[in-house]
């Protein structure tokens, strides 16, 4: 599960892979640098509020051990404007506030959404589907359907004489037992699948932090549940986040999902408010990323 943003119903911004694209055209995807992605995320987070240049310098470069400058900032802003223009957006997207900073106007329609792409076993590859509603309602989750291997049936030996009644009864028992076993496995499999599909969100809820439910982007095993909660709590404390009743936290950490220690850390948390029907109104995204692979123009 990953957070994406729909800008003016025309452009999809995916912070996870640093890309902007058209909603219905995957071939239109354009990738930007990490600083440009952080600038756009910050502008969206402060939607309708002027973000000062000093704030960009700190949150886009200084916090990642990089060198900030006006030239770097202006270059990234220019790149973002060029990308949205290339994708066909004709409006004024990022506004310059002279001697202060930049802003995305409050009138600009920006919608936060969750996207869950989960592969299922099929005879042909399934196309990725994007949820059209900004709520945690994954349409597919990985599940393993039990596949029963029927016990081999022994072919009756050809006989020149007709089988007796006793031999006929003894021959039917393995067939009846195998049929019953297959039927039982099928019922159990359908019951398990039904449970997953009727309430997939329940598998993603891990715990509570204060009054806020904590969700993962993928099911967490009982053996690693406490590690996941500890990572989430550390992230909340580090970013000075506070739990507001009715909010939820959605967390994912490279430390938790990657079995090999690569020496790098990339964590993500979304703090989302919900309405009376438990649908998400708006989310604020927080990132921790010390990777420098794309930290170039």
Write out the chain's pLDDT in tens, 297 residues: 678 999 999 999 999 999 999 998 888 999 999 999 999 999 999 999 999 999 999 999 999 999 999 999 999 999 999 999 999 999 899 999 999 999 999 999 999 887 654 333 333 343 333 333 344 444 444 444 444 455 454 444 444 445 555 555 555 556 666 666 666 656 565 555 455 444 556 668 888 888 898 888 878 888 788 888 988 888 898 888 888 887 888 888 766 665 555 555 667 788 888 877 767 767 787 767 655 445 554
What does the pLDDT read at residue 205? 85
Closest among 102, 51, 110, 52 to 81, alpha carbons compared: 102
Question: Within 10 A of 39 (CB to CB), how many other CB atoms are there?
Answer: 25
CA angle 105, 39, 281 (to 5 degrees): 55
Q: Roughly how many angstroms between the first and final C-alpha of the chain, as a whole number?
A: 28
Instruction: List, in order, residues 6 or more apart from 196 with CB less than 8 Å away.
Output: 141, 143, 203
Q: How far is it, in rounded angstroms, from Cα 112 to Cα 262?
A: 31
What does the pLDDT read at residue 155? 47
What does the pLDDT read at residue 211? 83
- Kindly tell me the sign of the dihedral angle through the C-alpha atoms of 131, 133, 134, 140: negative
Matching residue, tokens 């031999």: 167
Question: Within 10 A of 55 (CB to CB), how many other CB atoms are there?
Answer: 14
CA angle 46, 50, 56 (to 5 degrees): 75
Full-model pTM: 0.43
**Beta-carbon-side half-sphere exposure of residue 59 (alpha carbons within 13 Å):** 19
């Amino acid at each position: 599960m990953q957070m994406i943003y729909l800008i003016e119903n025309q452009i999809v911004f995916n912070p996870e892979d640093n890309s902007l694209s058209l909603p219905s055209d995957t071939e239109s995807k354009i990738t930007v640098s990490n600083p440009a992605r952080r600038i756009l995320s910050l502008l969206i987070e402060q939607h309708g509020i002027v973000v000062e240049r000093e704030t960009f310098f700190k949150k886009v470069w200084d916090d990642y051990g990089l060198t900030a400058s006006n030239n770097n900032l202006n270059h990234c802003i220019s790149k973002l404007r060029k990308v949205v223009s290339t994708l066909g957006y004709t409006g004024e997207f990022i506004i310059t506030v002279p001697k202060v900073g930049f802003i995305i106007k409050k009138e600009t329609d920006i919608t936060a959404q969750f996207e869950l792409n989960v592969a299922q076993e099929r005879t042909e590859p399934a196309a990725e589907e994007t949820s059209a509603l900004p709520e945690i309602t994954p349409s597919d989750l990985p599940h393993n359907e039990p596949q029963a291997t029927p016990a081999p049936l022994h072919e009756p030996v050809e006989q020149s004489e007709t089988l007796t009644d006793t031999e006929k009864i003894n021959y039917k028992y393995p067939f009846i037992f195998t049929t019953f076993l297959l039927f039982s496995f099928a019922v159990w499999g359908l019951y398990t699948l039904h449970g997953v599909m009727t309430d997939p969100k329940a598998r993603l809820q891990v715990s509570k932090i204060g009054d806020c439910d904590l969700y993962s982007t993928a099911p967490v095993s009982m053996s690693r549940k406490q590690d996941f909660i500890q990572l989430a709590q550390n992230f909340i404390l580090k970013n000075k986040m506070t739990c507001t009743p009715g909010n939820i936290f959605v967390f994912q950490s490279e430390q938790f999902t990657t079995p090999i220690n690569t020496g790098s850390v990339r964590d993500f948390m979304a703090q989302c408010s919900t309405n009376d029907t438990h649908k998400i109104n708006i989310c604020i995204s927080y990132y921790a990323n010390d990777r420098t692979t794309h930290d170039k123009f």
